[in-house]
Amino acid sequence: MVRNLVARRVLPLCLAAMLAMGAAGCADAPDEADGPSAPAADAVEHAGSGAIDAGAAAEDALSESEPAGAQERGEDADMTTVTLDINGTTFTATLEDNATARELAARMSLTLEMAELNGNEKYFYMDEGLPTDAERPGEIHAGDLMLYGSDCLVLFYESFPTSYRYTRIGRIDDASGLADAAGAGSARVTFALEAR
């Protein structure tokens, strides 16, 4: 039975954890190890194979970051900007100044088929994990781009409170129209570094 599920790709890892533990999916699974449990991971196929295109690493994409706290002080920040094409609608996002965001940027451009979950997020399991520095944000905001565990990339298109742990990657600068662009089902999302 398990092999049949794996072969047919019926349940991604995130949904298996939801069913096994009664949680609300990868964005709301228990945070004992910042990710779904090992038995759930063994029971179904890793869903990272949905990548359509992974471009070459961007050269000179990220310059030296500003001193800690510069953004909060209102100083001019040398932030990394990316464009997200979500089902044909383009948004601009600003990445965090952390190892997770830098590693994701180095993998761009990426076109991913992101699955729908809970009426508030799109998610995708990466083939290779990213560095983590998880925290409990307390509140998710529409446009937040987060990492759950080390390999579940999550784009939230609705705001809501949460007690789960994520590593911040970035945020869409203006999330108006994001829910409409994301749609009800899976979404094709292209991440690309914005030309400087």
Just give the CATH number of 50-193: 2.40.100.20
Which positions of the chain have pLDDT values less than 70? 1-78, 196
- DSSP string for 144-162: EEEEETTTEEEEE-S-EE-
The confidence score (pLDDT) of residue 194 equals 83
Tens-place pLDDT, residues 47-73: 333 444 433 333 333 333 333 333 343
The residue ranges of DSSP E strands in the chain, in sequence order, are: 51-54, 81-86, 89-95, 110-117, 121-125, 139-140, 144-148, 152-156, 160-161, 167-172, 187-193
Contact of 97 with 79, CB cutoff 8 Å: yes
Pairing of strands 110-117, 144-148: unpaired
In the prediction, which pLDDT does 78 show? 57
0.75 exceeded by pTM: no
Whether the link from the prior residue into 163 is cis, omega within 30° of 0, is: no
Is-contact 73 35, C-beta < 8 A? Answer: no
What would the two tokens of residue 193 be? Answer: 């570094």
| 132: helix, strand or coil | coil
Name the E strands within 10-64.
Answer: 51-54
- Token pair 């990272």 is found at 48
